[in-house]
């Protein structure tokens, strides 16, 4: 057995030995769980960017290498050769399924896509101009009021039922949120369609005519789902884990994740890309904005280029670019000035040595935003689609946490900088 590594922390001349844990991949981790009890001090890490709050076997990211693994499988292989529900199975259960396991899993998901009919009335309680994310937060949270037989987190069977229900029903919820905001009737799911095709049909079909899902668009949508399925311990995933640590039901936990994802610094990245393209407006203005992005005295930056986590390149972007090219070839860009700007911006940025040197390559948000725009989705639907795709990641992390014998309710500490104790003063004397 390898000798346990330790780190020595010295405070006021007194030393403390802290265990060091080595992962299968990534940097070592110093275990500070007993630090407060032994030394009476906390660590300070705003944003928790240097703190591991859990151990996990689901997803691993190496930002320097541009590597993203789900259960050890590289994301580019999954996005190219697999499909979303197969990736869902791997995230949930640890390995890619056999043909029989996949057929059973797909059948379970397909047969749980309908919503309780009373939930249609819940949608109608929102204003027509409500943001689809606001609707999703409310409706997903309300699922615990409709599906009482899958809220007991201590029952493995109920956890499994909740898992299938959330993955299956989220496309219906997202599509109905979209339909409601544009004043069209709800379209019910169909069991003869695959996951992505079902979602597209529920979004774009109308009762007045038949809607045939183009397989190129369905494949592009499936890739968007796959590439957003999980992304390690990000803000929304950590929110789901924190909510779960209190014993909250799975629908409440996922609703919390959706609320966190709604923040523009997290789930709104591809929407920000489209808003940037609108700001640029026309192809002839691209050099002006590229010059601004290169000017160190200008705070402007191109949205969708580079990534906070990936310091080299976004491994999801290559596959997403393939789908973007296929979709644009199918639908064309002749009548869409926004997509014309996007294609020319990509071309000029990739040809500019500045962006190559800074490793500011187009990321997955840039290409997914282009695809969703080309398909006809408004920018208000970009984040709901992200939430729908990320649901399986949240649920996988939720299930893993509930099985962790070290599970404790989340309780971060603080560096208190307020007033010390003082006496109350009667209002007449203040």
| Burial annotation 244-266 (CB, 10 A radius, 16+ → b, else e) | bbeebbbbbbbbbbbbbbbeeee
Cα 221 to its chain centre, rounded Å, is 15
Q: In the annotation, is 298 catalytic?
A: no
What the block records as the tokens of 237 is 């995933």
Q: Catalytic: which of 70, 228, 231, 307?
A: 307
Residue 186 and residue 35: Cα distance in Å, rounded? Answer: 55
User: Residue 409 gets which letter from DSSP?
Assistant: -
- DSSP per position, 22-86: --SSS--EE--TTHHHHHS-----GGGTT------SSEEEETTTTEEEETTEEHHHHHHHS-HHH
| C-beta neighbour count of 6 within 10 angstroms | 13
Q: Catalytic: which of 365, 403, 404, 423?
A: 365
| Burial annotation 95-107 (CB, 10 A radius, 16+ → b, else e) | ebbeeeebeebbe
Residue 180 and residue 8: Cα distance in Å, rounded? Answer: 59
Cβ atoms of 360 and 135 within 8 Å: the answer is no
Q: In the annotation, is 70 catalytic?
A: no
Beta bridge partners of 74: 69
**Alpha-carbon distances of 10 from 7, 15, 28, 35, 42, rounded to whole Å:** 10, 4, 20, 11, 14
| Burial annotation 291-310 (CB, 10 A radius, 16+ → b, else e) | eebbeeeeeeebbbbbbeeb
Active site residues: 307, 365
């Amino acid at each position: 057995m390898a000798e346990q590594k330790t780190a020595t922390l010295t405070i006021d001349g007194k030393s403390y030995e802290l265990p060091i844990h080595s992962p299968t991949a990534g940097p070592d981790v110093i275990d500070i769980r007993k630090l407060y009890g032994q030394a009476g001090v906390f660590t300070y890490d705003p944003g928790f960017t240097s703190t591991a709050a859990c151990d996990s076997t689901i997803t691993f990211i190496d930002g320097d290498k541009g590597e993203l693994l789900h259960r050890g499988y590289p994301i580019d292989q999954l996005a190219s050769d697999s499909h979303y529900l197969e990736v869902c199975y791997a995230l949930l259960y640890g390995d890619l399924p056999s043909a029989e396991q996949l057929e059973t899993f797909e059948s379970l998901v397909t047969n749980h896509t309908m919503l309780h009919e009373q939930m249609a009335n819940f949608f109608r309680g929102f204003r027509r101009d409500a943001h689809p994310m606001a609707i999703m937060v409310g409706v997903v949270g309300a699922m615990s009021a409709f599906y009482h037989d899958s809220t007991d987190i201590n029952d493995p069977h109920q956890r499994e039922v909740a898992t299938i229900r959330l993955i299956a029903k989220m496309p219906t919820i997202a599509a109905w949120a979209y339909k409601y905001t544009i004043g069209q009737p709800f379209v019910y799911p169909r069991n003869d369609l695959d996951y992505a095709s079902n979602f597209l049909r529920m979004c774009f079909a109308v009762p007045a005519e038949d809607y045939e899902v183009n397989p190129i668009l369905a494949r592009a949508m499936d890739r968007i789902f796959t590439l957003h399925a999980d992304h390690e311990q990000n803000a929304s995933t950590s929110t789901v884990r924190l909510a779960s640590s209190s014993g909250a039901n799975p629908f409440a936990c996922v609703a919390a994740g959706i609320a966190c994802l709604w923040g523009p610094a997290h789930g709104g990245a591809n929407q920000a890309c489209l808003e940037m393209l609108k700001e640029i407006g026309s192809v002839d203005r691209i050099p002006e904005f590229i010059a601004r992005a290169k000017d160190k005295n200008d705070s402007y930056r191109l949205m969708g280029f580079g990534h906070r986590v990936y310091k080299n390149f976004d491994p999801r972007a290559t596959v997403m670019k393939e789908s973007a090219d296929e979709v644009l070839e199918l639908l064309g860009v002749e009548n869409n000035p926004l997509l014309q700007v996007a294609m020319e911006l990509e071309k000029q940025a990739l040809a500019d040595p500045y962006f190559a040197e800074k490793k500011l390559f187009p990321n997955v948000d840039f290409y997914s935003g282009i695809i969703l725009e080309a398909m006809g989705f408004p920018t208000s639907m970009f984040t709901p689609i992200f939430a729908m795709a990320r649901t399986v990641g949240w649920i996988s992390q939720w299930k893993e946490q509930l099985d962790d014998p070290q599970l404790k309710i989340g309780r971060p500490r603080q560096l208190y900088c307020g007033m010390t104790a003082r006496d109350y003063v009667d209002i007449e004397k203040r």
